[in-house]
Amino acid sequence: MNICCIGAGYVGGPTMAMIAKKATFCKVTVVDINQARIDAWNSAELPVYEPGLEEVVRECRGKNLFFSTDVDQAIRDADIIFVSVNTPTKTYGVGAGRAADLRYLELCARRIAEVAQGDKIIVEKSTLPVRTAESLKRVLHSNSNGYRFEVLSNPEFLAEGTAISDLEAPDRVLIGGDDTPSGQAAVETLVKVYNAWVPRERILTTNLWSSELTKLVSNALLAQRISSVNSISALCEATGADIDEVAFAAGKDTRIGPKFLKASVGFGGSCFQKDILNLVYLCEYYGLKEVAEYWESVVKINDWQKDRFVRSMIRTMFNTISGKKIAVLGFAFKKDTNDTRESAAIRVCASLLAEQAEVAVYDPQVTEKGIRDDLVYAGVPESQLARLSVVDDPYAALDQAHALAVLTEWDEFKSFDYDRIFTGMKKPAFAFDGRNILDRAKLREIGFEVHAIGKP
Ligand code: UDX
Ligand code: ADP
């Protein structure tokens, strides 16, 4: 079976690598218009950092896994085409700031219809608003040259940082298709691919719209838990309760469960905010104002939590951070990824720079260019960016700093030499832990003033 995936990003790359590894009867070609990205996939320095990914790519690349920029050829050869292009939140026009920008997807659909020389199964992999398959179908069928295109929805549930283990043993695989004989046949074809390693009872099949909506709903429900716990973290700080104790005890109720109850400076990532805003847009479209407001508040609390973190830093540091050096530890939206999309660090750093602080960022995987681009995109003016430095050595970031702020829970931050750090810092030395990973007792013993999320 020939599989092609359009879009060699955080979703397309790892997913196709796993299909190539497990479904050895498939030949998988991942294509992208971005030459640099394809070159990176074909090199020793993969464009996506993900534990375990390199091994899988090394094992399959050149055997049944290929990366190429020849989109048309890959489309022509494929029986199944996964579409895994970016669908960012619209920044212009109707639905700006909420709706998904589907222009890349539509371009793909047009391209497929134009160059295909046979029937194809088209699989939506990108996160999409409900009923996108409808538009996809129309574009495909209006330009089909007589070929049949079956559209399936197969949302990706992997989390970055754990992509390889999530793909290897998914809780479930969801495949949505049309309730017609040809639709069901297409669903069965895709089921066969996943069934090469995923037990059949974990492969759920639904109609197209259920599958599309499930992706938004799963992410909205997960993000809602974080916003709920983050809102309670403020109450903990006001009352002297400890958020980790509260979340642990509440999570012991098996109906609630322990996962996604970790208080933090705020959730990030390419999915949560985008998907909730899609859901909000969808609700508004269907006239469900209250439902839209309800879900929008999940995103609002998230922004509030980031701002609350910065306000607490400023207040603690005698109401001024102007000219003070602040070491920001971690810029990725979570550990074990080099992805920074919607990372809380962007808004936090932008606010610190606006307060005229000298910000020194250290992240083990994110490049300086990535950090600068994110801040420029977030609207930080050049004059403020002059006060930003990005360093390879965490101790350099901390040298002569007034404060450190942990924004990503990288494991290495837990094993820093805090005696050494304290010696190099200005006094009083402040530690702001946006991830609750530092050993607060030890830091206080050394002489740090420590603030964590939802902690006394
Ligand atoms: C998420 C979904 O988990 C995944 O199923 C979907 O396919 C894509 O979106 P991802 O964005 O990669 O995955 O990471 P996730 O682990 O869900 O974390 C999202 C954000 O929430 C991160 O910034 C993380 O640090 C934060 N988070 C997570 C918390 O603040 N507290 C928690 O308890 C869990
Ligand atoms: P995700 O996290 O969803 O994988 P990314 O932005 O990492 O998102 O990846 C999407 C990829 O899709 C990008 O590398 C982009 O260049 C690619 N892409 C977008 N439009 C097209 C297209 N028309 N043809 C081929 N690749 C495309």
Q: How far apart are CA 15 and CA 169, in angstroms?
A: 12
Q: Where are the domains of the chain?
A: 2-198, 299-452
The SS3 assignment for 208 reads helix
Confidence grade of residue 397 (pLDDT, cut at 50, 70, 90): very high
Q: Residue 88 has what DSSP assignment?
A: P
Task: Tell me the per-residue pLDDT of 348-391, one tens digit each, with 9 for 90 and over.
Answer: 999 999 999 999 999 999 999 999 999 999 999 999 999 999 99
Whole-model pTM? 0.94
CATH topology agreement for domains 2-198 and 299-452: yes
Class of domain 2-198: alpha beta
pLDDT of residue 139: 87
Q: Is 337 in the pocket of ligand 2 (CB under 6 A)?
A: no
Instruction: Please say whether the beta carbons of 367 and 334 come within 8 A.
Output: no
Picking from 16, 18, 13, the residue whose alpha carbon sits closest to that of residue 3 is 16
Q: In sequence order, which ranges of 33-130 are alpha helices (DSSP H)?
A: 35-41, 53-60, 71-77, 103-115
Alpha-carbon torsion angle 338, 335, 170, 183, nearest 10: -40
Q: Is 227 in the pocket of ligand 2 (CB under 6 A)?
A: no
pLDDT of residue 101: 84
- Ligand 1, atom 6: nearest CA belongs to which residue? 157
Average pLDDT of every residue of the chain: 95
Q: How far apart are CA 387 and CA 282, in angstroms?
A: 41
Q: How far apart are CA 236 and CA 379, in angstroms?
A: 33
The SS3 assignment for 28 reads strand
Q: Residue 165 has what DSSP assignment?
A: H
Distances (CA, A) of 180 to 184, 186, 208, 437: 6, 10, 12, 52
Tell whether the model's pLDDT for residue 134 goes beyond 90. Answer: no
Look up residue 172 and give its amino acid.
R
Picking from 46, 123, 31, the residue whose alpha carbon sits closest to that of residue 77 is 31
Active-site position among 4, 60, 236, 271: 271
Which of the pair, 393 or 100, is modelled with greater confidence? 393
Instruction: Please say whether the beta carbons of 407 and 344 come within 8 A.
Output: yes
Q: Residue 287 has what DSSP assignment?
A: T
pLDDT of residue 228: 98
Q: How far apart are CA 241 and CA 234, in angstroms?
A: 10
* Average pLDDT of the residues in 405-412: 98
- Report the separation in Å between the CA atom of 197 and the middle of ligand 2, taken as the mean of its atom positions: 26
Ligand 2 atom closest to 104 (CA): 20
Ligand number nearest to the C-alpha of 111? 2
- Ligand 2, atom 23: nearest CA belongs to which residue? 108
* Average pLDDT of the residues in 404-424: 96
Around Cβ 357, how many Cβ atoms within 10 Å? 27
Tell whether the model's pLDDT for residue 56 goes beyond 90. Answer: yes
pLDDT of residue 168: 97
Confidence grade of residue 199 (pLDDT, cut at 50, 70, 90): very high
* Average pLDDT of the residues in 168-175: 97
Tell whether the model's pLDDT for residue 149 goes beyond 90. Answer: yes
Look up residue 320 and give its amino acid.
T
Q: Among 3.40.50.720, 3.40.50.2000, 3.40.50.2300, 1.10.940.10, what is the CATH number of 299-452?
A: 3.40.50.720
pLDDT of residue 108: 93
pLDDT of residue 259: 97
The set of residues, in sequence order, having a beta carbon less than 8 Å from that of 105 and lying 6+ positions away, is 83, 85, 87, 126, 128, 132, 136
* Average pLDDT of the residues in 321-326: 98
Q: Is 268 in the pocket of ligand 1 (CB under 6 A)?
A: yes
Task: Tell me the per-residue pLDDT of 273-315, one tens digit each, with 9 for 90 and over.
Answer: 999 999 999 999 999 999 999 999 999 999 999 999 999 999 9
Instruction: Please say whether the beta carbons of 337 and 160 come within 8 A.
Output: yes
pLDDT of residue 91: 84
Q: Residue 180 has what DSSP assignment?
A: S
Q: How far apart are CA 417 and CA 228, in angstroms?
A: 34
Question: Is 87 annotated in some ligand binding site?
Answer: yes
Distances (CA, A) of 36 to 1, 5, 40, 67, 235: 28, 17, 6, 11, 47
Q: Residue 431 has what DSSP assignment?
A: E
- Ligand 1, atom 27: nearest CA belongs to which residue? 267
Residue 182, CB-side half-sphere exposure with 13 Å CA sphere: 9
Q: Is 166 in the pocket of ligand 1 (CB under 6 A)?
A: no
Residue 363 in tokens: 């992240």
pLDDT of residue 96: 84
